């Protein structure tokens, strides 16, 4: 009987033993919380953009709002996909922000 070598995961990505009955609910609730943060940031950005002086002088900072809003959206979508039962590695593949996807893949050892 032969055994195939199984690549070991980095310590930060070792699967946990046992079953957490609250994991699915927690992922869903956290996704909703992140979306609420995103909505708050969008509202704040809209207020700041409506001020012509601020918008003219702080365009680069306003673009950071857009990135943070997109980042929150991607994180919430990822959490929802995992809560819906999608494999974590597959779910990460749907993240549209390349830098975020890369960090998530590295965190899982690949």
Token pair 């310590």 is found at 11
Question: Could you list the residue range(s) of the whole structural domain that residue 33 is in?
Answer: 22-107
Q: What is the tally of structural domains in the chain?
A: 1
User: Is residue 52 in some structural domain?
Assistant: yes
User: Is residue 6 in some structural domain?
Assistant: no
User: Is residue 1 in some structural domain?
Assistant: no
User: Is residue 70 in some structural domain?
Assistant: yes
The pLDDT of residue 46 is 94
Give per-residue pLDDT as tens, 4-51: 444 455 556 666 677 788 989 999 999 999 999 999 999 999 999 999
User: Is residue 11 in some structural domain?
Assistant: no
Averaged over 49-76, what is the pLDDT? 93
Give per-residue pLDDT as tens, 94-105: 999 999 999 999
User: Is residue 14 in some structural domain?
Assistant: no
User: Is residue 91 in some structural domain?
Assistant: yes
User: Is residue 10 in some structural domain?
Assistant: no
Query: What global pTM score does this model have?
Result: 0.77
Tokens found for residue 85: 């039962």
């Amino acid at each position: 009987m032969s055994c195939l070598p199984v690549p070991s995961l980095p310590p930060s990505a070792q699967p946990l033993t046992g079953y957490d009955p609250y994991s699915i609910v927690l992922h869903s609730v956290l996704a909703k919380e992140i979306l609420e943060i995103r909505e708050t940031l969008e509202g704040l950005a809209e207020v700041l953009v409506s001020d012509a002086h601020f918008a003219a002088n702080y365009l680069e900072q306003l673009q950071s709002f857009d990135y943070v809003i997109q980042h929150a959206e991607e994180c919430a979508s990822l959490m929802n996909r995992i809560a819906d039962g999608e494999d974590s590695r597959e779910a990460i593949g749907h993240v549209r922000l390349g830098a975020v996807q890369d960090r998530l893949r590295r965190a899982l050892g690949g």
